[in-house]
């Protein structure tokens, strides 16, 4: 909580020792023979050089972007379970490393407790328009995760052509084989309240609600991958909405937006290198200093 205290204590101890040495040297000079006094002065000079070197090498360091903790760092006691890689990632590193992974298994690089910490940090800190806080997350782990994908497969069987269903089963089995799923909802109640309060922006609030959900999706996708998970984003709504609402007591008025599947990585990302269009056609900066 106070990382500078040990360093200050060390400096204070060194200063006291140095002061004592000065006083002792001054007092002893009145009674000591000349050759002993010379030895004391030489020893004290060596001590001062050592002290100067210690102060130079133990001075506080400023954290650079590559040494800061990654997304969603909590108090030291809560973040001890994080892998070393998460400690070293900067925000931009985490954004750059976020990719789509389909080859996933049920091996988790961090505990369920750590997963919940990340989820809480996202819910508390990801922004929303007019602070609507309209995002709702349903997190399914273990048997609940498996059951969700069974529901998805059952729903797809009724709408998928028979000759396509086998490949569909394989794809859903891949999602089921992952560690967990996050279902992203938007609650219309706070959104509708803003519509009634701010008529000038009435037609914008539903759009901004979508932005809110997207930011939560991006933050958690990036945050989980910073912890060592792989993840991919799916959209099997609305065909599963009613059954999911019934099974996990989700209010029917909530709108399901996406499902983030995450798990241990068993292969490379879906695309080895993202194809990028010309940056000069996508980024425009005016007024920047040289």
Q: 127-150, pLDDT tens digit by residue?
A: 999 999 999 999 999 999 999 999
Q: Is the separation of the CB atoms in 185 and 142 below 8 Å?
A: no
Q: Is the separation of the CB atoms in 135 and 126 below 8 Å?
A: yes
Confidence of residue 180 (pLDDT cuts 50, 70, 90): very high
Q: Average pLDDT for residues 77-98, to the nearest whole number? A: 68
Residue positions counted in the chain: 290
Q: How far apart are CA 263 and CA 48, in angstroms?
A: 56
DSSP 105-142: ES--SS-HHHHHHHHHHHHHHS--GGG---EEEEEEEH
Q: Which of 146, 126, 151 is nearest to 136 (CA)?
A: 126
Does the pTM of the predicted model rise above 0.85? no
Query: Quick check: 290 pLDDT over 60?
Result: yes
Query: Quick check: 169 pLDDT over 80?
Result: yes
CATH (residue range 99-265): 3.40.109.10
Q: Which of 236, 203, 219, 232 is nearest to 94 (CA)?
A: 219
Q: Is the separation of the CB atoms in 269 and 101 below 8 Å?
A: yes
Q: Average pLDDT for residues 270-277, to the nearest whole number? A: 91
CB atoms within 10 A of CB 213: 22
Query: How far does the chain reach from its first CA to its final CA, in angstroms?
Result: 39
Q: How far apart are CA 185 and CA 243, in angstroms?
A: 15
Query: Quick check: 12 pLDDT over 70?
Result: no
């Amino acid at each position: 909580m106070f990382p500078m205290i040990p360093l200050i204590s060390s400096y204070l101890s060194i200063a006291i020792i140095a002061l004592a040495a000065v006083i002792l040297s001054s007092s002893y000079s009145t009674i000591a023979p000349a050759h002993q006094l010379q030895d004391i002065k030489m020893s004290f000079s060596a001590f001062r050089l050592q002290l100067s070197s210690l102060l130079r090498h133990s001075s506080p360091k400023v954290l650079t972007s590559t040494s800061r903790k990654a997304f969603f760092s909590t108090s030291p006691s809560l973040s001890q379970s994080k892998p070393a890689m998460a400690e070293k990632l900067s925000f931009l590193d985490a954004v750059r490393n976020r990719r789509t992974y389909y080859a996933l298994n049920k091996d988790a690089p961090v505990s369920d407790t750590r997963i919940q910490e990340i989820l809480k940090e996202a819910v508390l800190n990801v922004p929303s328009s007019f602070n609507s806080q309209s995002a709702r997350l349903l997190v399914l782990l273990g048997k609940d995760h498996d059951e969700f994908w069974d529901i998805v497969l059952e729903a797809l069987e009724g709408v998928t052509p028979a000759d396509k269903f086998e490949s569909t089963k394989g794809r859903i089995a891949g999602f089921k084989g992952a560690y967990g799923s996050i279902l992203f909802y938007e609650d219309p109640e706070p959104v509708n309240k803003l519509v009634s309060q701010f008529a000038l922006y009435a037609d914008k609030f539903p759009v901004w609600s979508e932005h809110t959900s997207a930011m939560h999706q991006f933050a958690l996708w990036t945050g989980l991958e910073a912890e060592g998970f792989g993840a991919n984003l799916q959209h099997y709504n609305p065909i599963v909405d009613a059954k999911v609402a019934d099974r996990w007591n989700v209010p029917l008025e909530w709108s399901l937006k996406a499902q983030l599947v995450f798990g241990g990585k068993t292969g490379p990302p879906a695309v080895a290198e993202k194809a990028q269009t010309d940056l000069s056609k996508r980024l425009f900066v005016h007024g920047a200093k040289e």
